[in-house]
Amino acid sequence: AFEKSIYYSNRARAYQNTKEYDKSNNDCGQAMRIDVNNYKAYLILSENLVVRAKEAFDIACLDKAVQFFILLI
């Protein structure tokens, strides 16, 4: 299961690099469901949420990103 979680977080990063944020977010969710300690997935998801918040001036989205960052600390 650990390897599958890594697969999803790696693919999420690839989707993020091509600005396919919805696909990236979905893969982050899959990775986190498989392994709740996959911090890379949390980091990628928070980065995606920051991008979305900046594009849409969405404070609630930015707040959610901060919550994920806090989980990484």
**Ordered per-residue pLDDT tens for the chain, 73 residues:** 789 999 999 999 999 999 999 999 999 999 999 999 999 999 999 999 889 888 888 888 788 888 877 877 7
Please tell me the distance from the alpha carbon of residue 61 to that of residue 46, in angstroms, as a whole number: 9
* Model pLDDT, residue 67: 84
Phi-psi region of 29 (alpha: psi -120 to 50; beta: other; left: phi over 0): alpha
